[in-house]
Structure 1
């Protein structure tokens, strides 16, 4: 037994020192090699089990220097003062593993950002939706906006990378190319002075978010999202001018939609919304900053666009083919609902036809050089919508006078198309009834 054990140990040493391309040991000693392989697999399992225990102990003994930010003790490379800086800019809804932290040179202009840094960290995010949510939280906390320069499908194959996006600060000016309109970059090409409302300052701040596949990425299995943030803005991030370029937030959109649903127009909804903001922040130092923030307080033109898009989604188009398609849908639904009570709606859609014919003057029909003249005639079918409610159908059926004499009243200026409305009524013993 001792001899066999000694030979097995020697064979195991030969197995470790032999390159992979040499298979002589396996052929000469098949029985001993099988035992060696089984013992090797056992050692590998023991090593993996030990690594899992180390990871568990690291997770249990993690150092939390601030709320939401945690670093395992083994990978602790960030000091407490740096943690406090990250706490001001990073959302505290997830845990982080900081991989790189570097201070950059601060800007010296008036109202410059108090911090400039470059940081790489791993985030506990594993889906594209959660990554988008984290980016929105970062933009809300830092009062900045990052625009997509390369889409979510950039570099994504699904094997090693699940999601990837590269974004630039919205104050970054794109490099003008030949395909871009020249007027948009006149001051760049010709050196003209910029407008006071120009938001492009050439900001170098960038944001890169990449979600690795858990099967391929083994460095931090519980933190598959790698974020590279270059936070060195060359413009104020909390001034009224910078806040006026922020996109409308989802909270403001929902508030305006609620006002539209209550029957407000665009102007009345904006007046009520701004009044509520002034009452909420009355006497506060943040009121001027809130009113200047475009994400909280959109301008009148943007409120008009919100109202138009909401009306298009809920009511439909106000003219053209989409309007008639929506009317047909509503008519079919109304006729089906009131069919048992006699209600009915009929529509004649507006159509326009153009016909061409040859016009030959009568005095020159026999003239050899006279050419006929082409005349275009346009015929139109007007838009007509006839509505008969169940009450009207009942009056027309039971009241004899409804088929003998009627009264007609026309009303206009009811919509943008100035469509006239004709109300037809009949005289009865009970008084006038709409027909």
Structure 2
């Protein structure tokens, strides 16, 4: 209980104050000395708290602003002198800005809401206790809060939420991202994507709260306040030194060598990462020694580095075995990267086999030769998804001269050839393709088909793999990484890319394994289709066959061909395999279901939990005992501060069942402090109809599918390689909700 009536004042016996109780923060005991409702949803109250220092007053004020959703500004301050008061401040609502000019547009509504905070002294000269006759001071209630909750504006609408001060927790997150090499724009992207994962369907409401999702202008002001702009961009040598330092720090934090960086004899840079989770996949998952899929993605950063993902299949989807980042995709560089990664693999890698039995890749000669050199005993196969996508691109290229109406039938013929489940049926289907009247019309296609079919023994779909389906071995995980984790942004530099691999990518797979071990899939694992809005008219989508659709643009009247089987579209984004608005329109209109693997046995769930957590049961028991001892020591050393929070924690713990407790433990410390009062009242959100949809769309960043030359790095925006010691020398300001006027004050 966070509110009680004062036994010394006239409010004794009147314990029900719903308007006041709704906005008071948890973890404090509020003594209500007077309470009077002056109008609907308006009241005046006098409250006292057991708070003894100025820092505690500011902490309570910040918690009060979070719980109530109201932002207060300083109206008047008082010097720290006098016999009776140790601290005093008068506060006004942020909608009372005292504008100097009448014509300028401001948020001012001349709001009459005020709050006065007075902290009484409890000691005088020579540490003598106060002789005041006030019974509240004798009981330890030194903070007086005189609250006049008489606002003349809405309290739970989008406009109010967007004008809140950025919380200290969000500022700390931004500082941490800046330290890891993020720019203001990419740091804001990371916060917004994390918020999407945590809030799910409530993301639109949480994103409107500036305290947890700041605006881009605040991010830039904070960035340049911490790290002043430089006149020159970092050199390659400085970037290399910074990368080595960051990887060294990462290894120190992990307590093991999980990442290395190396320069090849021809001057290329290779970075290998095998994180703790990846090492546990090697040693605990039997499938890691059977099939390994490898795929690469370019245009991941401004230096055009390439990422090579090494993954294995499982009932939880594709799980990582290692990651390579290189400055080139030639054979010698990739070979050096794979050899460097081998030095990071744990003992008994690939489930004790030291190499995979089968490796599935795309048709990249340099990559396949490098894998054959490092894993000479492994069998190399071609990915089915890449075969289909390569044929799709070939057919839809105007240079090859295939008529538009003949492209889908030719693709379907090739698809039936790739899907053949035996050698006789594959041979029979190839003869049918050659005799097809549509195929005969294009000698160039016949020649290309013969070249592709000549390597049919290397097709992954034709390999018997002990009951495991090799379909989508490479396609699915790369889509997850590009779209859900890397977000198809080009705004990453090398330092940010390393940070992504060591933090975001690891966290993505930890959440996936944890959800499956808990017998449920999180919202993060589900594909989030684009909101196509008015760009596509669903009534004008024509279905040609089971997998082929023709989508007409409502603005340009152009037609785009969508193939749902291989996830491609003829638009600039969809031709690369990205999820575009035309594919999204087909999914939403025709309700194509998405399938996800499910864990079926307790043994598999236990393995996934061990891979995600990385701790044995005995080790967890020691950590729990250490936690209990730590809480007990804090309670003994400072009972006044920790008694109420620990009592509240124990009361909540006693009311939870097993399912609720498991969910609470997973989300402990990860959920932004957003109260339901700010999220639930949808009818009060004063926004345009398209505002919520726009907040759910992908945010900022330069898309990887954009054609042309990549944008140049702005020297004012990206001084990433500044050394840590120079950053630490700059003054770091502590931000509070009240004293945040230098970064986002009254307008």
Tell me the TM-score normalised to structure 1 length.
0.48
Between Structure 1 and Structure 2, whose CA radius of gyration is higher? 1
Relative contact order (alpha carbons < 8 A, sep ≥ 6): 1 or 2 greater?
2
Tell me the TM-score normalised to structure 2 length.
0.29
